[in-house]
Amino acid sequence: MTLFSPLCRIMAACWLAMALFLTGCARFPPVPDATPVDYKLNGFILNGRFSLTQFAHMQAEQRHSGRLYWKYEPATSDTPGMPASSEILLSSPLGQGIAEIVQDAQGAHLSTAEGKTFTAPDAETLTQEVLGYALPLLRLADWIRARPAHPGTGETRRDESGRLTHLRLDGWMIDYEYADTNPQSLPRRIHAQRPEEFELRLIVDTWQPLPAEAGTP
C-alpha cells in the first residue's frame, strides 16, 4: 500500500535517500566544528538544511523545510559482503524529529514521529512500497558529493576548476554550488529535481569525515 503523507514526501525528496535514527522528540546530534574536507571524502557526517516541494499536475502541492543529519559509512575491503550503511534524520526547523531511515546489513527501516515503522530488504524497495516510487538511494551518497556513481554516464557540466556543477541522469537534474574556489571542495548548495515530481534544495552547513578517516591525507 502506498502511503502519501507529508512525511513520506519529505523523505522522498531526500533522495535524498536513506537511514535514520529517530524518536518523536528527537533532536539533532551536536554539530561539530567545521572541518575542511574534499571530494576524496568517503564516510561522512553531513549537517544541513533542506526545502522540499512535491508537485502534482505541474503545480506545487506540498512544501516542507527542515534540517538534515546524515551519517554514511561505505562498504570497505575489511568487511567483504557488507553493504554501505546510512543513517538520516529529518527534523523540523526547530529540531523536532520527523522521520528516520536506517539502511544496514539487516535491510532498510523507516520510523516516523507517529510511531509507525516500515521495513524492506533495501532502501529502494522501501521507498517503492511506501512512496510508490523507487528512489535511487544507493547512488545518493555519490550524487550529494558531486560524484557520478559511474563517470562518463549522463549529462554533466563542470566549472573552470573541474568541479561538477550540473548532472542530468535517470530523469534527475542536479545543480551544485561551492563556497570557495578550491578545486577539491565539496558542494555547499545542491538543487535536485525530478521535473513535475520533486524539487529539493539543500544547504550543507558542515561536512565531517568519520573518525576513522580523520587522519586520512
Q: 109-121, pLDDT tens digit by residue?
A: 988 888 889 999 9
Predicted local distance difference test score (pLDDT) of residue 11 = 45
Cell of 180: 570557495
Q: Is the pLDDT of residue 136 over 90?
A: no
The highest-confidence range among 33-47, 56-70, 96-110, 155-169, by mean pLDDT, is: 155-169
Q: What is the pLDDT of residue 143?
A: 87
Residues in the chain: 217
* 165, pLDDT greater than 60: yes
pLDDT at res. 176: 97
User: Strands (DSSP E) along the chain, which ranges?
Assistant: 44-56, 59-73, 85-91, 97-104, 107-112, 117-120, 155-158, 164-169, 172-177, 189-194, 198-209
CA distance 132 to 121: 16
Long-range contacts from 111-114, C-beta under 8 angstroms, 24+ separation: 111/20, 111/22, 112/7, 112/22, 113/7, 113/22, 113/23, 113/24, 114/7, 114/24
Confidence band of 57 (pLDDT split at 50, 70, 90): low
Q: What are phi and psi of 81, to 5 degrees?
A: 85, -10
In this predicted structure, which of 32-36, 131-135, 180-184, 188-192 has the lowest mean pLDDT?
Answer: 32-36
Is the pLDDT at 194 greater than 60, yes or no?
Answer: yes
pLDDT score for 16: 37
| pLDDT value, residue 207 | 93
Mean pLDDT, residues 167-183 taken together: 92
Query: Rounded to an integer, what distance in angstroms lies between the CA atom of residue 185 and that of residue 40?
Result: 9
Confidence of residue 202 (pLDDT cuts 50, 70, 90): very high
Separation between Cα atoms, residue 176 and residue 58, nearest integer Å: 24
Q: What percent of the chain has pLDDT over 90?
A: 26
Closest CA to 38 of 153, 161, 160, 155: 161
* Model confidence band, residue 47 (pLDDT cutoffs 50, 70, 90): very high
Asked whether residue 108 carries a pLDDT value surpassing 80, the answer given is yes
What is the rounded CA–CA span in Å between residue 2 and residue 99? 17
Give the separation between CA 199 and CA 54, rounded to whole angstroms.
6
Q: Identify the band that residue 138 occupies on the pLDDT scale cut at 50, 70 and 90.
A: low
CATH class name, domain 6-207: mainly beta
Closest C-alpha to 139, from 167, 180, 112, 181? 167
Mean pLDDT of the chain: 75
For the chain, give every domain's residue range: 6-207
* Residue 76 CA to its chain's centroid (Å): 20
